Structure 1
Amino acid sequence: MNKIQLVESEDYIAVLLAEKELSILDCDKDYVLAECNLQDLVGIEIIDFPEKLHLEIHDSKGFETYLFYEVQIKKMDCKMSLEFICHIPNKYWDHKWGLATYLEAIKKQVAFSESIKIGDFDFEDTWKRLSLIVEYDFPNNISSCISDASNQIKTLIKTAEISLGGFVWKNEYEQDEMLFCKEILTPLLHHDYRCNR
């Protein structure tokens, strides 16, 4: 079974994941920030994660969100905190809505989520930033938590898009009931349920 270890001595710090030594990006007396690949975390349990360690993971597909390309993982108070970070320059944004408007709509949808919290945000800078935090209890597998959190964020994004642009019918909905339920009914029911609580 894979283990993750933080090895420290007076003049040496290393983060070991199974047989691999991870790159350390930053360290202080209170934390060590290292980076790894998502595949490296397969089989790693939250309980085996060192308290002082912070891990940074980048994904070219934004963990299937195509918006949040970085996640930072840390363990605090017997919980695993996953912070999904969107940090995009306005200059290269090409979308139906402006980047600040889009991120603001996603941020507003967090109010209707029981498990997602807002980390930090800045919509004024030329590099727009929004981070969303999802926490998990023990016992849990880290890679499964990342997958679950990204699915929750995808639902949040879809709901934000519906709120911005209203409902847009796709011909595929007529043939694919699962797609219709996933993209239309589930976000609407989630939103309606939380509004009426």
Structure 2
Amino acid sequence: MDEAANIKLSEVLPLRTDEFPDKLDLRIPFGNLVGDIFEITGIRRYEDEFQIEYYSHPNLLKKVPQRISVYFTAFLKAVEFHENLYSDYNHVDDEGHQYIIISYKTSNTFDTIENLIGEGNSAILDLKKEVDVTVNGFQWKNEYDTDEKPFTLDVVLPLLRRMKFNFVKYTHGTNEYGKDIVFSEFSKFGQLKYHAMQVKPGNVGGGAKGKIKTLIEQAESAFSIPYTGQESRDEMYISSFTFVISGKFSEEAKREVLYRVPEKLKGTIHFIDKEKVLELIERYWVI
């Protein structure tokens, strides 16, 4: 039988995750607010998997102009697009107030409970941003035109999840080999197909020879060097590569990239600009 205990969150944050007892169901008193909406109410461990429970109550949603049920329904729908987030249907407490519980589950290795909680909180905050777009509509920010990171995190990553791609992962860094984002999908034959994206801010024109050369080199690296993802420990090679920018591609730039890439890559490289991004947001994200 699972053990249950009540304790303040601050008392367990310094613990190493390997010190947290297996099958312990830790109940956390209210007072640990995440994103002005959710409270951390529980931490569980079962073998190598940890679960953090987040409770939402309408008393925490007084600033939301929409009906509570609309907002909660959007949360429950959004959870379906995240591999590590789970939820069930709306609940009603003894006073007749509606609430939902969302759980973050992970088998990843963390040094401390504090780091584990930090990862769960980040997932909940990202979820809240997505729900705000669903309910209130999408607003393009000026920083997306010049800064790759917010464009990637706020727009491209959640959009890919909304399009029901699997294992969407942000891989930007020194060893990305042209892949800012990797993701996958099942073909109609039931086989996983792997894809990658390179994200850039601003416009790409035909006169930007240095930028176009860099794009081509990144595409070649992305195809030639495999990656290891969440779905498998095996090395995986991508079958398509997409350039996503927050501005506009000139037709000349696209022709030059497609003309100069190796023959074997023709037909596997795609381009998405701001106009297409906004079209996809309206189709897959906003209600």
**Length-normalised TM-score, structure 1:** 0.68
Work out the CA distance in 2 between the residues paired with 1:120 and 1:150: 21
Tell me, yes or no, if structure 1 residue 115 matches structure 2 residue 87: no
**Length-normalised TM-score, structure 2:** 0.49
Q: Which moved more, 1:41-50 or 1:96-105?
A: 41-50
* Contact in 1 for aligned 2:58/2:98 (Cα 8 Å): yes
| Within-5 A mapping of 1:34-73 | 34-38=6-10, 40-50=11-21, 51-56=23-28, 58-59=30-31, 62-63=33-34, 65-73=35-43
1:78/1:183 CA distance change after superposition, 3 Å: closer
What is the CA RMSD across the aligned residues, in angstroms?
A: 3.0
The alignment of Structure 1 onto Structure 2 pairs a total of residues equal to 165
What is the CA distance between 1:123 and its match in structure 2?
Answer: 6.4
Q: RCO (CA 8 Å, sep 6+): is it higher in 1 or 2?
A: 1
| 2:137 corresponding residue in structure 1 | 166
What is the CA distance between 1:106 and its match in structure 2?
Answer: 0.9
Partner of 2:83, secondary structure, is: coil
Higher alpha-carbon Rg:
2
1:148/1:169 CA distance change after superposition, 3 Å: same
User: Mind listing any 5+ residue stretches in structure 2 that lack a counterpart?
Assistant: 167-184, 187-287
Q: Which runs of 4+ in 1 moved over 6 A?
A: none
Alignment partner for residue 89 of structure 1, among 59, 63, 80?
59
What is the CA distance between 1:131 and its match in structure 2?
Answer: 0.9
Work out the CA distance in 2 between the residues paired with 1:105 and 1:168: 18
Cα-to-partner distance string for 1:119-154 (whole Å, 9 max, x where unaligned): 553269742211111223374332111111111122
* Contact in 2 for aligned 1:79/1:137 (Cα 8 Å): yes
- Structure number with the higher strand fraction is 1
What is the CA distance between 1:59 and its match in structure 2?
Answer: 4.4
Work out the CA distance in 2 between the residues paired with 1:69 and 1:148: 15
Instruction: Using the aligned pairs only, state the percent identity.
Output: 19
| Within-5 A mapping of 1:10-21 | none
* Contact in 2 for aligned 1:47/1:138 (Cα 8 Å): no
1:138/1:194 CA distance change after superposition, 3 Å: closer
Work out the CA distance in 2 between the residues paired with 1:138 and 1:45: 13
Tell me, yes or no, if structure 1 residue 180 matches structure 2 residue 151: yes
User: Mind listing any 5+ residue stretches in structure 1 that lack a counterpart?
Assistant: 1-28
What is the CA distance between 1:175 and its match in structure 2?
Answer: 5.3
* Contact in 2 for aligned 1:53/1:74 (Cα 8 Å): yes
